[in-house]
Amino acid sequence: MVGVGGVVVRDGKALIVKRAHEPRKGEWSLPGGLLELGESLQDAIRREIKEETTLDVEVGPIIETFDRVHHDDHGRIRYHFVIVDYLCTVRAGVVAHGSDASDVRWVPIADLSSYRVDATVSDVHAGKVQAGMPAVVLINEQPMAGTVATVYPTVENGAVRFTVALDDPARAGLRPSLRVDVHVVTDHKARTVRVTRGPFVDDASRRAFVVRGDRAMRVPLVLGLSGVDQVEIVSGAVEGDELIVSDMRDYLHLDSILLK
């Protein structure tokens, strides 16, 4: 399949769109799409940019021609595109996202690569990560919301690669090649009892000390969903209980501890 892309520039900035449909739904990219039957390359890029951004553009020279191959979950080729990118300038119109895009923005040309986060996950957990899941990207311990855009089917060195499209990619602090932590929300529950993660989570007995009056009682817990910082308690403790989440390995042989 033959596609076109438009590098629309103005005042040192380039126009990007957030894809509303597959393939690459949720990802930020240059505006563009596939040729229609009998359509020229130049007419196609004008039409696509109009549909995605409402702008009328003047089509300039070709910047780049390249291949893009997408695979399905079994590694089979799903799409094979040959894409021709054109340099374009705005003739008329006010930028706004159209039917094929969920958002559109002007961004500094130097920041184009900041609009996607590349991440990896162990192949042991790869089956839990799916496109469309919410994700949290931590930059210097500051969270940024995003969505898993693409999960690649191949395994390399025991890891599977996926990409996250950021909800607010223009946020200050983003830069190319920045190392970040990515957390994918694979499940969630409302109105649960939860507590800060502690060493008891990794204890095979799943017992923790709960404060009862002047004593800390070691009680069995049934745990549910687990996150980076917190874990759900299904039973063994209730709302309002005070759990000791610090390291209590030296006291695991005791059923209770007198508090002073």
Amino acid identity of residue 103, one-letter, is D
What is the arithmetic mean of pLDDT over 182-204?
A: 83
Same domain, 28 and 72: yes
Show which of 184, 214, 242 is a domain's final residue: 184
Do 62 and 108 belong together in one domain? yes
The pair of structure tokens assigned to 139 is: 């930059």
SS3 call for 209: strand
Determine the 3-state secondary structure of 50 from DSSP.
helix
Please check whether residue 189 lies inside any domain of the structure: no
Q: Is residue 247 part of a domain?
A: yes
User: In this model, does residue 122 exceed pLDDT 60?
Assistant: yes
Count of residues for the chain?
Answer: 260
Domain range for 246 is: 194-258
Task: Give pLDDT, residue 198.
Answer: 82
CATH number at residue 14: 3.90.79.10
Q: Tell me the whole-structure pTM to 2 decimals.
A: 0.49
pLDDT over 90 percentage in the chain: 8
User: Is the pLDDT confidence value at 111 over 60?
Assistant: no
Please state the domain count of the chain: 3
